[in-house]
Structures are given as C-alpha cells and as structure tokens.
Amino acid sequence: MRALLVVNPQATATSAAGRDVIAHALASDVKLDVVETSYRGHAADAAAEAAHDGFDLVVAHGGDGTVNEVVNGLLSDGVRDDVPMLGVVPGGSANVFARALGLPVDPVEATHRLLQAIEAGASRRVGLGRADDRWFTFNAGLGWDADVVAGVERHRVKKATPMLYARMAATSYFKLDHGHPKLTVHLPDGEPETGLHLAFVSNTDPWTYLGERPLRINPGSSFEDGLGVFALRNVGVPTVVKHVWQILRPGGSPQGGNLLRRDDVEWIRVTCAEPVRLQVDGDLLGERTDVRFMSVPAALSVAV
C-alpha cells in the first residue's frame, strides 16, 4: 500500500518528535511518503497530487483545517471510486471530524487505530457537504460563527483555546446588528425564510466542541444523512442564552419560536442582503452574499 502522510507542523498538538514516531510507525506497514505543509493550500495540493499518482491512502496529521484541505485535494476532480482512502491522526485543538468518527484524539493512539484499520481493511464511507465549490466535513456557517473564526485567527499565536473561542464569541455577539437581519434561507420544500441573523449548517453531530463539551445544534445529523440547518430570527440576549443552554445540555435538542431548524435536507441556499463572513470546518473563506450548501452522500472512504 502506498501512503502519503501530510503533516501540518504548525498544528496545536504536533511536535517534531511526535511526527517522527507517527511516520516511523506507519512506515512499518506501508510504503510511506511524508509532506510537511509550508503554505496555505499545501495540504490540498499534496493530496490532489497523491490522488493523481495512484496512492492508496492519504493521512492528514493536523487540525480540522488540515483535514479539510486534504479532503478538498482528494476530491478536486469530484467523487470517484479510485480516490485514495483518508486517514486521520488528530493534531489540532478541537479535532471535530476525528471525534465525530469515534477516533482517539491522542496522536499515538490514533496512529495505532489507523494501523489496525489498514491491517483489517476497515473503512467507512462518509457523506460530506459542499459550500459552493468547497468541501466540508462537519460544519459551515454564515454570520456569527464565521466572525468568531475571524477573531480567533487574528488573536491566536498557535493554540486556539476554548477560552479564546469563548472570548471571541462574546466580542462578536456584541458587534452583531441586532436590529437588521440580513439572511434568507431557502430549503427544498418551502418558501424562503427571511429575517434571519445567522445560519449554521451541520454535516454531522456534534457541530463542534468547547473543550471536551460537545455543542449539538442539530443532534439528528450524521455522516449518513443530509445536512442540518440552525438559523435564528432573533439574537437578543434571552434568545441566545436559551439556545446556548440547549446546545450545551446533555441530550438537549434546540427548539423555540425564534429558531429555524431542520435536519436531513439535500440542499440549503443562504442569500444575504449584505456580504457576511463564511466559514467551513473552522476555515474562513471571506465574505459572501449567496452560498449554496449541498449534501453529497458517501463521498469519501475513511480508515476507521
């Protein structure tokens, strides 16, 4: 088996010694090449080249941003049967995709699990989402959450801590234009929903993590179903506190009169009166006024 290990040396939980251990362990079972990323998009370029060169497996070692880039590189020519299998060795702070798959967050344990999967030929076909031409694995959003991502990127040194995310969430909240909702959500089976302040899109559950605590905005979402949408008509303090409590509460299922929430939909289109920020898998993509989100079933094979 030919495998490529794509390493982000800037990821939160990676180190030179740890990367050497992981590479040595993988090289004992596969014919391994290693690429350390050095620029934005490098992981996607390396994965696309591996797909074209007939590799069997591409392993992403880094955070969710590295995984997202690798996925976009693997699927740069679309969903095909000959796309290499994806392996994940977490190295970030949240590692949402890996956790949603039930993988260990410890890199050494995750490498051991990956080697077991390679030996057993064990894999899982997962559905993915697309935001226009960009693939995402677990979430995307327009508005508040993208503003939080932008704030974290401005203030982080290396590690994006839960405290930093919480601080940026509070800061971004008070900058929201509470009186002028900008978003309209279009769904397959109804009239457009206007007057919305934010729109979160889920490809699986949970939406993300705050430290060890899962945040569940669409608990019915999974890699085997369509997309979920969570959008608010009101961002006043009582509404926001209510829904934050719901998504943090174990077993909670967000609901309320100011909430538009749907699970398992084929597509979601969000249009905006003014440009708002868009993020996918925690990666900021700039500002948009019109985004179409698509569910793509069984898009990629992952070693588990």
pLDDT digits (tens, 9 = 90+) for 102-137: 999 999 999 999 999 999 999 999 999 999 999 999
Listed in order, the ranges of the chain carrying CATH 3.40.50.10330 are 2-121
Listed in order, the ranges of the chain carrying CATH 2.60.200.40 are 136-298
Question: Where does 2-121 sit in CATH, by number?
Answer: 3.40.50.10330
CB atoms within 10 A of CB 255: 10
pTM for this prediction: 0.93
* Class at the top of the CATH hierarchy for domain 136-298: mainly beta
**Dihedral over Cα of 31, 36, 39, 43: its sign:** positive
From residue 248, how far is each of 5, 222, 271 by CA, in Å? 35, 18, 28
Give helix then strand counts, H and E, for the chain.
8, 16
> What tokens were used for 173?
């909240």
Supply the pLDDT for residue 212: 87
Residues of the chain scoring pLDDT < 70:
156-159
For residues 55 and 33, what is the distance between their CA atoms, to the nearest angstrom?
10
Which tens digits make up the pLDDT trace of 255-297?
999 999 999 999 999 999 899 999 999 999 999 999 999 999 9
Supply the pLDDT for residue 15: 83
